[in-house]
């Protein structure tokens, strides 16, 4: 039986990428050494890092005045590192609370800086960027483009402002066409859309470097990592290789525009089943529904347990909602195939027919 994962993370990877990685681990580039054995300071790994950066720049159209850092600690480490790197002395940071992950980001930041909440959502919809109470002298304004736990996503960008926009794009980076120049800084954990856990990307505009507080540890200092080519200490070499393979797969499959089309098609397939009658319910309001994390409910917790059990028996796994939210959730990151989504939609239709 084919098994398809809809996990919120680490995500499914394309089968071709997994096969390539299996060969990389057995012997890298036709050698007897495994990809796990590449020294980080030497040629082969430097090539992997440079090619990954080049592909990422090409895919997203990253302008030359932005630096790309390959860091560790996940998006969660960045929650605390953002104010330490960007807020300097005495400046406040603005946060939009759209759901679970942006609340976590603001809570961590508030330990290192003065956090002003400029807008909040209600769990089912996101605050319209036009209603954010932004000031003109904040160090930055932070929002989370896709709320993975709540199944919500901002589909439009906020208006430009002098205050740099900082965004957690862990869940939707490389799933939609993006104007990087509208942001001061973008960060994302790799395990959702571009590979394996252990790598965190930070894309930062050069003029925001040099603002870190003095006591920040050097592996977490954006400026020092930029100067050192992300090699102040050992980078997560294997996770960087996985990202490299995933970025090349994206390039060979039509780039980000094609990824966006696949993403729209995958979520439309599920919403067609969900919206066909009132057996399934999607709590997210229509304009803010996430294309990446489709959250839905059926009539009762008991029916949801049954759904999960039967789905699993059919090879459709990791469909449970976030532990704080409950319900059901299908995460449709870049590595989740249209074939997997078709199999889930067919199962959902069948489950409804039998249990509705
Ligand atoms: C998964 C996720 C995180 C957490 O990432 P970690 O790598 O576990 O720190 C943060 N933000 C968003 C939007 C996520 O989807």
User: What string of DSSP letters covers 85-148?
Assistant: HH-TTT-EEEEEE-SHHHHHHHHHHTTTSEEEEEEE--SSS---GGG----SS-S-EEEESEET
Same domain, 74 and 197: yes
Residue 267, pLDDT above cutoff 80: yes
Bridge partners of 295, per DSSP, are 329
Same domain, 241 and 268: no
Same domain, 216 and 264: no
Annotated binding site for pyridoxal 5'-phosphate: 75-76, 101, 148, 168, 191, 233-234
Q: Is the CB of 151 under 6 A from ligand 1?
A: no
Ligand 1 centroid to 43 CA: how many Å? 31
pLDDT band at 30 (very low <50, low <70, confident <90, very high): confident
Q: Is the CB of 167 under 6 A from ligand 1?
A: no
Same domain, 211 and 106: yes
Ligand 1 centroid to 348 CA: how many Å? 27
Same domain, 235 and 263: no
What's residue 229's pLDDT?
Answer: 96
Taking CA atoms, 177 is separated from 134, 156, 173, in Å, by 25, 12, 9
Q: The domain spanning residue 21 has which CATH number?
A: 3.40.640.10
pLDDT band at 268 (very low <50, low <70, confident <90, very high): very high
Residue 320 placed within a domain: yes
Alpha carbons within 13 A on the beta-carbon side of 269: 20
Domain count for the chain, please give it. 2
**Per-residue model confidence as pLDDT tens digits over 88-143:** 777 899 999 999 999 999 999 999 999 999 999 999 999 999 999 999 999 999 99
Task: Report the alpha-carbon distance of residue 92 to residue 95 in Å, rounded.
Answer: 10
What's residue 88's pLDDT?
Answer: 78
Residue 266 placed within a domain: yes
Which secondary-structure segment (H or E) carries 167? strand 165-168
What's residue 202's pLDDT?
Answer: 98
Residue 139 placed within a domain: yes
Residue 3 placed within a domain: no
This prediction has a pTM of 0.97
What's residue 264's pLDDT?
Answer: 98
Ligand 1 centroid to 140 CA: how many Å? 20
State how far Cα 146 lies from the chain centre. Answer: 8
How large is the angle between the packed helices 255-274 and 43-60, nearest 10 degrees? 60
Residue 2 placed within a domain: no
Per-residue b/e over 169-198, b at no fewer than 16 CB within 10 Å?
bbbbbbbbebeeeebbbbbbbbbbbbbbbb
Bridge partners of 67, per DSSP, are 204
Same domain, 271 and 244: no
Domain stop point among 252, 267, 302: 252
Q: Which two tokens stand for residue 215?
A: 């006591």
Domain stop point among 252, 286, 304: 252
- Of 24, 55, 150, 168, the catalytic one is 168
What's residue 67's pLDDT?
Answer: 98
Burial (Cβ within 10 Å: 0-12, 13-18, ≥19) of residue 162: exposed
* Residue 192 annotated among the catalytic residues of the structure: yes
Residue 4 placed within a domain: no
What's residue 92's pLDDT?
Answer: 96
- Mean pLDDT of the 217-223 span: 97
Backbone phi, then psi, for 125, in 5-degree steps? -145, 165
Same domain, 188 and 101: yes
Task: Report the alpha-carbon distance of residue 66 to residue 8 in Å, rounded.
Answer: 29
Mean pLDDT of the chain: 96
Q: Which of the listed residues 7, 8, 9 should we mutate to test ligand 1's pocket, taking the one with most ligand atoms within 8 A of CB?
A: 9
Backbone phi, then psi, for 29, in 5-degree steps? 60, 40
pLDDT band at 19 (very low <50, low <70, confident <90, very high): very high
What is the percentage of the chain residues whose pLDDT exceeds 90? 95
Q: Which atom in ligand 1 lies closest to the alpha carbon of residue 78?
A: 9
Residue 202 placed within a domain: yes
Same domain, 111 and 195: yes
Same domain, 53 and 177: yes
Q: Is the CB of 143 under 6 A from ligand 1?
A: no
- Mean pLDDT of the 33-39 span: 95
What's residue 90's pLDDT?
Answer: 75
User: Which H, E and C letters describe 203-259, residue by residue?
Assistant: EEEHHHCCCCCCCCCHHHCHHHHHHCCCCCCCCCHHHHHHHHHHHHHHHHCCHHHHH
Same domain, 69 and 218: yes
Residue nearest to atom 5 of ligand 1 (CA): 75
Same domain, 290 and 144: no
What's residue 266's pLDDT?
Answer: 98
**Per-residue model confidence as pLDDT tens digits over 47-74:** 999 999 999 999 999 999 999 999 999 9
Domain stop point among 232, 252, 272: 252
Query: Would you call 289 helix, strand, or coil by DSSP?
Result: strand
Task: Report the alpha-carbon distance of residue 63 to residue 301 in Å, rounded.
Answer: 48
Residue 345 lies in domain: 255-355
Ligand 1 centroid to 319 CA: how many Å? 17
Q: The domain spanning residue 342 has which CATH number?
A: 3.90.1150.10
Residue 5 placed within a domain: no
End-to-end CA distance of the chain: 26
How large is the angle between the packed helices 237-252 and 43-60, nearest 10 degrees? 40
- Of 150, 192, 249, 266, the catalytic one is 192
Q: Which of the listed residues 79, 101, 324 should we mutate to test ligand 1's pocket, taking the one with most ligand atoms within 8 A of CB?
A: 101
**Per-residue model confidence as pLDDT tens digits over 221-232:** 999 999 999 999
């Amino acid at each position: 039986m084919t098994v398809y994962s809809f996990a919120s993370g680490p995500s499914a990877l394309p089968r071709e990428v997994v096969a390539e990685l299996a060969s990389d681990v057995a012997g890298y580039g036709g050698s007897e050494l495994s990809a796990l054995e590449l020294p980080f300071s030497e040629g082969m790994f430097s090539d992997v890092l440079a090619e990954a950066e080049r592909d990422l720049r090409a895919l997203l159209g990253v302008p030359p005045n932005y630096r790309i850092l390959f860091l560790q600690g996940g998006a969660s480490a960045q929650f605390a590192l953002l104010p330490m790197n960007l807020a300097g002395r005495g400046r406040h940071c603005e946060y939009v609370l759209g759901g679970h992950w942006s609340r976590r980001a603001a809570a961590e930041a508030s330990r290192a800086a003065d956090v002003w909440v400029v807008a909040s959502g209600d769990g089912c919809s996101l605050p319209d960027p036009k209603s954010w109470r932004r000031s003109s002298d904040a160090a930055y304004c932070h929002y989370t483009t896709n709320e993975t736990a709540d199944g919500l996503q901002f589909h439009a960008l906020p208006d430009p402002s002098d205050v740099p926009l900082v965004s957690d794009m862990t869940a939707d980076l490389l799933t939609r066409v993006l104007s990087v120049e509208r942001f001061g800084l973008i960060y994302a954990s790799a395990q959702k859309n571009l590979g394996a856990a252990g790598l965190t990307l930070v894309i930062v505009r050069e003029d925001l470097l040099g603002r870190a507080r003095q006591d920040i540890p050097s592996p977490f200092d954006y400026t020092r990592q930029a100067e050192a080519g992300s090699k102040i200490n050992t980078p997560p070499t294997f996770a960087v290789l996985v990202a490299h393979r995933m970025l090349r797969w994206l390039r060979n499959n039509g780039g980000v525009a094609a990824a966006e089309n696949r993403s729209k098609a995958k979520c439309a397939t599920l919403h067609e089943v969900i919206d066909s009658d009132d057996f399934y319910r999607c709590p997210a309001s229509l304009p803010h529904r996430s294309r990446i994390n489709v959250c839905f409910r059926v009539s009762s917790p008991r029916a949801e347990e049954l759904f999960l059990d039967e789905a699993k028996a059919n090879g459709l796994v990791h469909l449970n909602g976030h532990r704080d939210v409950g319900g059901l959730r299908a995460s449709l990151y870049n590595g989740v195939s249209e074939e997997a989504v078709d199999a889930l939609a067919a199962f959902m239709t069948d489950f409804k027919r039998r249990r509705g």
